[in-house]
Amino acid sequence: MTDEIRFEHVRFDHEMGRTAPVRLLVHRTRKLAVIATSFIAYRSGFSFLLYTVQRNPPAYDPASRKLEPSVDYKTIAFVDASGRTLPLEPDFSGHSSRGWMECRYFVLELPSPGPITVSLDWPTRRSLRVSALLEASPILDAARKAEALW
């Protein structure tokens, strides 16, 4: 197995996903928040935006990339109620500016019913490890309403 990205999420381009009423505060400190939002469910998976924002970002320095509170997609995990780690891949079309970053991620399988553990292992942030729970039912309900385009 290699670390090569195969872009399996292109299959979602062939259907009209449905918005799932889900928002999750993954982590918050006095200086930083990590939020998973804008969930769209498809018949075989879902996408979401991971948004990070700094409360008082440092002054802009073009030579430094430390201003972008970025998250490496390999450090995010979704584990469903059955204990299965759901495969995830990034869209690579994220946006960032001084003190914030957002990127769309695709979870390539639907979860089992029950709670999903969303974990973030963030080595560039002093080895921060956090997790939060997300209920699968709104995602599964929205996925049942997704439609094939052709």
Token duo for residue 147: 């439609």
The mean pLDDT value for 109-128 works out to 83
83 found inside a domain: no
131 found inside a domain: no
Residue 105 DSSP label = E
Task: Return the pLDDT at 67.
Answer: 43
85 found inside a domain: no
The mean pLDDT value for 18-26 works out to 94
* Mean residue pLDDT across the chain: 82
**To 5 degrees, how large is the angle CA 38–CA 119–CA 51?**
35
**What is the C-alpha to C-alpha distance for residues 130 and 109, in angstroms, rounded to an integer?**
22
143/1: higher pLDDT: 143
130 found inside a domain: no
The mean pLDDT value for 123-130 works out to 67
Number of structural domains found in the chain:
1
Taking the model in full, what pTM does it have?
0.81
17/55: higher pLDDT: 17
End-to-end CA distance of the chain: 33
Q: At which residue do the structure tokens 């999420």 appear?
A: 9
Which residues span the domain enclosing 47?
8-70+91-111+137-148
**What is the C-alpha to C-alpha distance for residues 13 and 51, in angstroms, rounded to an integer?**
22
Token duo for residue 56: 């008082």
18 found inside a domain: yes
Task: Return the pLDDT at 133.
Answer: 95
